[in-house]
Amino acid sequence: MLRDILHPQLVRCKLDSRSQKKALEDIAQAVNLHTPSIPALPLFKQLVAREQLGSTALGGGVAIPHCRSSTIESITGCLVSLNQGIGFEAPDDQSVDILFALLVPESETSAHLDILAELAEIFSNEANLAQIRNAKDDMALFSCFEQLSNNTAAVQ
């Protein structure tokens, strides 16, 4: 299912976002460039509002910022790796350098939970995280994540 929601244009490798808000802004802008029907500023505000409810950081340097919205027509993912970790109020107090933003239509409750479970499985494996962190550019990061999601789907 992950391979259906992540497009190469929604992958950013080694961004220089130096704060949580800047990373969320970069994600919103990337999504808007790919899908102009999703305006960047409202999306950014929704992602920030979700973080204010509680951090979406999992630990291990990973966060899955997400939101549900009526402006989102289909489940969309945006994968970002950062040059350096940023504060994200992670449960392990570790800086976050891998983010997978998940944007979901309001009606997609069960699919939302299924995708979060797939992401958690990928991101709970240290070898997977090392592969993601070692990607050198957007296409390498996309290919790496596509392979990891295919491996996860094959196990399920």
Task: List the catalytic residues.
Answer: 66
d(C-alpha 57, C-alpha 42), whole Å: 21
Type of residue at 95: S
Spell out a b/e string for 5-42, using b for 16 or more CB atoms within 10 Å of the CB, else e.
bbeeebbbbbbebeebeebbbbbbbbbbeebeebebee
d(C-alpha 91, C-alpha 103), whole Å: 23
Residue 59 is encoded by which pair of tokens?
A: 């630990």
Type of residue at 23: A
